[in-house]
Amino acid sequence: MASEQVKNSAFDTEAASCLVKELRHTVLAGKTKSYEWRVSQLKGLLKMVEERDKQICDALFSDLSKPEMEAFIHEIVLVKNSLKVSLKKLKEWMKPEKVKTKLGTFPSSAEIVPEPLGVVLVISAWNYPFLLSVDPIIGAIAAGNAVVLKPSEVAPAMSSLLKKLLEEYLDNSAVKIVEGGVSETSTLLEQKWDKIFYTGNGRVARVVMAAAAKNLTPVVLELGGKSPVVVDSDVDLTVTARRIIGGKWACNNGQACVAPDYILTTKQFAPLLIDSIKRELLKFYGSDPLNSPDMSRVVNSNHFSRLSKLLDDDKISGKIVHGGQTDKSELKIAPTIVLDAEEDSLIMNEEIFGPVLLIVTIDRIEDGIDFINSRSKPLAAYIFTNKKQLKEDFVSNISAGAIVINDISLHLMVDTLPFGGVGESGMGAYHGKFSFDAFTHKKAVLRRSFLGDAPARYPPYTAGKLRLLKALLDGSILGIIRALFGWS
């Protein structure tokens, strides 16, 4: 605690402003702009991931009891992939894009030149503390920016490991890490950034965006929400159950922004689905899931009591159809299923972000669409069905960051799909080329020659000039000729 305070007092507004000044200096010197620098940093990260994967896994275990397997496939490998794609494609991404110009500006040529935004701030989250810190940094570096990372203090082991590793493997004059909590974040947010990339919740996102407004800083907000899963009755039950479990409990025990929050299914089908989820859960985690090594724990006691409160709500007593066991000392909650909680219960209205899965029954599966649309737009919406029409209706009528048909969370592994929310689930997107774009300004460039100067543009204005202008804007060659010769 004492050392915590020392740290807090050390990072004040002056320190923050010094930090940003130093980075701005690096950017102005043009260092981060070159292809070579970007590649060297991306390679540095790749080296870091390859050499230190053990330490990364250990930190993830210490912060979240994350099983090594999850640590690998959801964090380390995704970061590695992201780096490989960026290294392979960077040259192509950095190329100016030629665009066509119209007759009205003839002779001319136009292009869109990607340029770095400058100095950017990445504020990451605790649930995937490695991935959500490094993946945005990859985009920021690929785009040629200097970066400050503020990792989440809720995952302290990863926070201090990142500080150590990034300092060791990256250019310290362009990439900095500031550890800390609310006070450090507020101090950082007072500074002027050229972009802020925030992963977290809607409440803090509003604070971040309001702070950004003072300096006209654009933001990417990666938030969450209650992501629904519609399960039709014509599905392969076993595969569906496995994929739901895979996306819910095998992804950081439900503490993921794209985790299924609730399932919508028909009254008749619900018992079948529940049975099959129970059966597969048993196969995955055994009969004593609290002691399964293959499941993460709840991150800390705050979240543990938040989740306990959701389950202790009178409105859902008697609705728990599976699980419900907790172990406060180990911060573990067993996979829990709640059937038809009351509409006004806490759990029906808050993002669960933990190992509790809601099942909501509806009369007809088509009603699922209205149910989802009556709530805030989620980050992801899932549907399991074999019906073509239902798929189409779901895709065209549901607004969500992403839609996945017959699987869960898999979209975030596809680097050719933009990953990001809409409405309450956030704004802006990243992954692959979209990460590069998120940290890039696309500068419009128009090149003209001194030839072909159309006098119609200039005063003194006449009726003939108006006619010529109309023809020019129309791009009609005949019209231009007629206007030029005064035939119209």
Q: Which residues are catalytic?
A: 222, 257
Please give the single-letter amino acid code of residue 53: D
388 binds another protein (CB under 8 A): no
* Preceding omega of 107 cis (within 30 degrees of 0): yes
**Number of C-beta neighbours around residue 126 at 10 A:** 23
Taking only Cα atoms into account, the Rg of the chain, rounded to an integer number of angstroms, comes to 27
Strands 440-448 and 108-116: antiparallel
Place of tokens 């935004």: 117
Choices 10-18, 133-141, 234-242, 308-316; region in contact with another protein by CB under 8 A? 234-242
**Which of 5, 287, 329, 416 lies at the binding interface for another protein (CB under 8 A)?**
416
d(CA 306, CA 424): 21
Q: Which of the residues 47 through 66 are near another protein (CB under 8 A)? A: none
Q: Does 1 bind another protein (CB under 8 A)?
A: no
| 77 secondary structure, DSSP code | H
35, 91 in Cβ contact below 8 A? yes
Q: Is 29 in the site for another protein (CB under 8 A)?
A: no
**Which of these segments, 128-136, 154-162, 181-189, 463-471, binds another protein (CB under 8 A)?**
463-471
Min CB(131)–another protein separation in Å: 13
Question: Would you call 362 helix, strand, or coil by DSSP?
Answer: strand
The two structure tokens encoding residue 30: 């043009």
Question: Per CB under 8 A, which of residues 207..226 are in contact with another protein?
Answer: 209-210, 212-214, 216, 218, 221, 223
- Told to check if 448 binds another protein by CB under 8 A, we report yes
In three-state secondary structure terms, 354 is coil
Asked if residues 203 and 426 have their Cβ atoms less than 8 Å apart, the reply is: no
CB of 141 to another protein, least distance (A): 18
Q: How far is the CB of 39 from another protein (least distance, A)?
A: 17
| Phi, psi torsion values for 423, nearest 5 degrees | 60, -130
The residue among 137 and 429 lying less far from another protein, judged by its C-beta, is: 429
Is residue 449 near another protein by the rule CB under 8 A?
A: yes
Q: Which is nearer to another protein, 209 or 346 (CB)?
A: 209
242 contacts another protein (rule: CB under 8 A): yes
Closest CB to another protein among residues 364, 388:
388
**Residue 228 DSSP code:** E
Smallest separation, CB 247 to another protein (Å): 10
Binding mask 317-356 for another protein (x = CB under 8 A): ----------------------------------------
Least spacing, CB of residue 51 vs another protein, in Å? 16
Backbone angles phi, psi at 153, to 5 degrees: -75, -10
Specify the residue, 58 or 153, whose C-beta has the smaller distance to another protein: 58
Which stretches of 191-316 are DSSP H helices?
202-214, 237-248, 270-285, 301-312
What does residue 224 show for φ and ψ, rounded to 5 degrees?
-130, -115
Q: Assess 286 for contact with another protein (CB under 8 A).
A: yes
Other Cβ atoms closer than 10 A to 306: 16
Scanning 8-16, 41-49, 85-93, 281-289 for contacts with another protein by CB under 8 A, the matching segment is: 281-289
d(C-alpha 196, C-alpha 140), whole Å? 10
One residue of 77, 272, 346, 362 binding another protein per CB under 8 A: 77
Contact residue for another protein among 442, 477, 481, 487 (CB under 8 A): 442
Rounded least distance, CB 5 to another protein, Å: 31
